[in-house]
A and B are shown apart, each in its own frame.
Chain A
């Protein structure tokens, strides 16, 4: 079961006891975090912030360094304690947990993936991944099994007995992710997990996260300073600046209605081809033939619709190829099966336009769009892509 997260009027303040006390009194005044720091010496990292995150949502918090995003995510397992306000996860207010209640929450309900991986360098990959279960006292055999599943899931099978220093950065973060998944948390906290990786690996990891997220039922809170990453991953995004939220919304809403010039500046560099997904601009195929259909029937159908060709699937809607109208006219056969041009240039519906762009140029006709099981789901039109990228 995924959990919803409700943060209500929450503030995080750093400083000495005296400084914090003075700063907390100023929180409700009309002052920025900077002004409060000048006045009291305390750093207000998060100021009067409220967010509601739905169950199963992939929520991204984005902002420059020092904007308070890391301080925010670290309140969700109380690595930072809020100066005031409440954090409710699945109906439970974290600030009211006893120390054993908090330990149990950390063990079972929320896991964190760290920016610099934070692996235990004295333990093998396997021992790292089973650590969360080990502290819970899970029996060796059982935790081995669970940890192995997590290792397989992130694609590190075969590396179980390697030490972290033998792995590349990307692989280390896979270990970090596997470790965070072993205790099957309902809330996954990812604190700039891919920022330390080089861009190519980063994109791979993002894709894999989306794939995992598709299969998992858990709420994910993801922190990043990279707007492209935020838009690629997030169902919703919150942009933070100076300890406060500037705008919350879906990627579309950010483009359509940027809340301020700051937001506009922030998304100026965002490459739309990497953010817009194929499925959001594809259209339904006009007529689809099935293997075993008669030539005559298909010919009539295409003629009626004035189409030059149509796609062909099998009984399970699995994409097979396409068939030309001119071939249908010449043919004297019974079924269309022999006339099908087999074609493997297809595009995954969750792919980004950037990928589609290259394939569109290769393709002879429009690009068929398929889902994860290879079923035909739509058609991507060259003109539509150009149009989508233009505005």
Chain B
């Protein structure tokens, strides 16, 4: 008796997953040409990026990283960053790292192409703002695994859907911070621009974007960090790289290997974060008004 009241009635069960399946089927059939183009474009980008990343010898990476750390911060940071990179190589994960970096760079690049204009449009149109804000909130609270499903269905398995999922996961902070950066430009500076007869385009390129640059750079940094996090998860749909090493280690309950691969991801994250923050700080330095 109690059981019939307590348990959710089976009569109310409604399986709407079929409709979603149908919708995705429809989507992938109707827009097959589009997804083909996306796949081709992303694969071409991979060829280019992997060529550039692969042609450089390992010691050149370490040398360049040392110089970057030294110029942006100090010798100590240069040494630490290049040491972290060296340790990835020592772990035997160099090739995997290159592969992972390629996914990250392409995802961040596409995020930038999408995020920057979207952020700008959002700052100009309060209607778009009110539509996009809840969507962005939703995107950031959704579990990252969920992005794998449409990517998988529309683009199959491999690194192309990995880029797709990573981009969708990583783009919100860039949109949000581009929007914020432009919205927060000093009202008087905007008025000064208007009062000297700037056109809307001149306002955007000569005043708003340069003023928002530091904030946009911070957004790019966050987007990159999100991409690093997502790239591990994207290995579940067949992207190789360091993420796959982690995945294999988990399946085999191989704690040591898992830890080594996990640390390598952390090192990649630290290196990218430091580099981007260093560049951002440079902007900030020249921009401070007080």
Instruction: Spell out A's residues near B (CB within 8 Å).
Output: 77, 79, 103-108, 110-112, 114-123, 131-132, 134-136, 163-165, 179, 183
Contact = CB atoms under 8 A, between A and B. Distances in A.
B286 A122 contact: yes
Nearest to B198: A135
Label chain B's interface by main secondary structure: helix
Contact of B287 (A103, A121, A135, A179): A121
B8 interface: no
Which of B188, B202, B211 is most buried by chain A, counting CB atoms within 10 A of its CB? B188
Query: Would you list the 8 A-B pairs with minimal beta carbon distance, nearest first?
Result: A107-B197, A106-B197, A118-B188, A118-B192, A132-B196, A122-B210, A103-B197, A112-B195
17 contacts: A106-B195, A106-B196, A106-B197, A107-B196, A108-B197, A117-B188, A118-B192, A119-B189, A119-B289, A121-B286, A122-B211, A122-B287, A131-B196, A135-B199, A165-B287, A165-B289, A183-B196
A118 B191 contact: yes
A122 B213 contact: yes
A117 B202 CA distance: 20
Q: Report the interface size class on chain B.
A: 20 to 34
Contacts, number: 76
Nearest to A137: B202
Contacts of A163: 286
Contacts of B202: 135
Given A121-B211, A122-B213, A132-B197, 16 more contacts: A103-B197, A105-B197, A106-B197, A110-B195, A112-B191, A114-B192, A118-B189, A118-B191, A119-B189, A120-B210, A121-B189, A121-B288, A122-B287, A135-B198, A135-B206, A165-B288
Interface string B183-201: 0001011011111111100
Contacts of B289: 119, 121, 164-165
A118 B197 contact: no
Interface in B208-260: 210-211, 213
Contacts of A77: 195
Interface of B: 186, 188-189, 191-199, 202, 206-207, 210-211, 213, 286-290
Contacts of B198: 135
A120 B207 contact: yes
A111 B196 contact: yes
Nearest to A103: B197
A106 to B, nearest CB: 4
**Max chain A C-beta neighbours (<10 A), residue from B197, B199, B213, B289:** B197
A136 B196 CA distance: 9
Contacts of A79: 191, 194-195
Nearest to B213: A122
A135 B189 contact: no
